[in-house]
């Protein structure tokens, strides 16, 4: 059973013992504050637009929600950040109210990672979160590479589905 809704995906995974990614692993990936301290760039977590001026990181910024919601934005100024955060605070979704501020990466590389078939930062993150597969967004910064996003229920094209089928067959 597949869904594009990450939270529904975690619910389905909790219902079925043989889900490829467990509900716990999906929740770990969706909660960015679970993995950002170890795998992400320097960041600040805020919930009010009033503290934007106090952020020590220089813009442009990537503003991500603490829980993965697909609302990430790039802003180039304090005013832009305040506007985005104010909008999130008016949303009915309480998960939108906590914002993570990090510098915008110079480049983002997306990696479809399958446990046992990928090394480096993406493989390390999969092992730490308990994921069997995910799409990992690696941000390139002047100081190195850091993970800026993990999608535990990525879109699957034919090539990705084949990699995943191989994983399932190996584990059977």
Answer positive or negative: Cα dihedral of 20, 23, 29, 30.
positive
Q: How confident is the model over 56-93, as pLDDT tens digits? A: 999 999 999 999 999 999 999 999 999 999 999 999 89
Task: Give the per-residue pLDDT at 3.
Answer: 83
Distance CA 150, CA 112 (A): 10
Question: Residue 2: which pLDDT band, with cuts at 50, 70 and 90?
Answer: confident
Please provide the size of the chain in residues: 172
Report CA 151 to chain centroid distance, whole Å: 6
Q: Round to whole Å and give the CA distance between 25 and 132.
A: 9
Q: Kindly tell me if the per-residue pLDDT of 23 is higher than 80.
A: yes
Residue 22 has pLDDT above 90, yes or no: yes
Which structural domains are found in the chain, ordered by start? 1-39+105-172 (3.30.470), 42-104 (3.30.1490.20)
Can you tell me the distance from the alpha carbon of 73 to that of 71, in angstroms, rounded to the nearest whole number?
6
Mean pLDDT of the chain: 94
Helices (H) and strands (E) in the chain, counts: 6, 7
Average pLDDT over every residue of 34-54: 95
């Amino acid at each position: 059973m597949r869904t594009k809704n990450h939270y529904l995906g975690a619910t389905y995974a909790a219902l079925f013992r043989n889900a490829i990614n467990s509900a716990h692993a999906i929740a770990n990936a969706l909660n960015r504050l679970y993995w950002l301290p170890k795998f992400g760039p320097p960041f600040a977590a805020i919930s009010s637009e009033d503290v934007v001026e106090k952020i020590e990181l220089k813009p442009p910024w990537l503003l991500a929600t603490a829980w993965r919601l697909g609302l990430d934005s790039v802003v180039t100024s304090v005013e832009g950040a305040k506007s985005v955060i104010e909008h999130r605070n008016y949303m009915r979704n309480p998960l939108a109210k906590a914002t993570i501020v990090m510098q915008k990466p110079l480049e983002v590389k997306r990696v479809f990672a399958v446990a046992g078939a990928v090394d480096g930062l993406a493989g390390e993150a999969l092992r730490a979160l308990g994921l069997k597969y995910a799409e990992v967004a690696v941000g390139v910064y002047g100081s190195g590479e850091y993970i800026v996003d993990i999608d535990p229920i990525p879109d699957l094209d034919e090539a990705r589905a084949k990699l995943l089928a191989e994983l399932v067959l190996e584990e059977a």
